[in-house]
């Protein structure tokens, strides 16, 4: 099965990057010190063990791909592919485009607008809304 997973707010314990957040470039360096959500990582390891593909889809800027891959490696988070769609308008629509192109069968996100958009586009794709943690 192909599974799509959002990054910030799902794999990270807080929603670090979103459309409303405008961080200076140098703030990106502290992202490697964020802990990963252990429960989500454990779930991803189970999926990997049974042969599922795990595709990370995030609105992080494309320039952060190397740093993001490093963080995933440090945190021992399994993944098959990563797609950074970059910031901007219509994030749910742009994530949906990746989901269609990659033929993802299940998608996990912390953004209710994105989950609702995907459900409207295809009731066949299983969606999981991850509740944001209060910190």
Which parts of the chain are beta strand (E)?
Answer: 2-5, 53-58, 81-84, 106-109, 126-129
- The winner for highest mean pLDDT among 28-32, 59-63, 88-92, 98-102 is 98-102
CA pair distance 83, 26, nearest whole angstrom:
22
pLDDT at 59 over 80: yes
CATH 3.40.50.1000, domain 2-129, yes or no? yes
| Average pLDDT of the residues in 107-130 | 95
pLDDT tens digits, 72-104: 999 999 999 999 998 888 999 999 999 999 999
| Average pLDDT of the residues in 17-24 | 53
pLDDT at 19: 44
| Two structure tokens written together for 62 | 């494309």
Question: Domain-by-domain residue ranges, the chain?
Answer: 2-129
pLDDT at 105: 98
pLDDT at 132: 65
Average pLDDT, the chain: 88
pLDDT at 12 over 50: yes
Q: Are strands 106-109 and 126-129 parallel, antiparallel or unpaired?
A: parallel
Query: What pLDDT band is residue 133 in, cutting at 50, 70 and 90?
Result: low
pLDDT at 134: 46
pLDDT tens digits, 36-58: 999 999 999 999 999 999 999 99
């Amino acid at each position: 099965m192909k599974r799509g997973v959002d990054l910030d707010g799902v794999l990270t314990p807080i929603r670090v990057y979103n459309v409303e957040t405008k961080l200076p470039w140098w703030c990106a360096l502290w992202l490697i010190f964020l802990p990963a959500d252990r429960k989500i990582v454990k779930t991803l390891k189970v999926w990997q063990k049974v042969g599922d593909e795990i595709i990370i889809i995030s609105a992080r800027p494309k320039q952060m791909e190397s740093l993001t891959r490093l963080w995933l490696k440090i945190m021992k988070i399994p993944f098959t592919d990563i797609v950074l769609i970059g910031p901007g308008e219509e994030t749910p629509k742009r994530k949906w485009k990746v989901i269609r192109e990659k033929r993802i069968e299940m998608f996990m996100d912390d953004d209710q607008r994105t989950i609702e958009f995907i459900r409207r586009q295809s009731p066949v794709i299983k969606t999981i809304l991850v509740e944001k943690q209060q910190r």
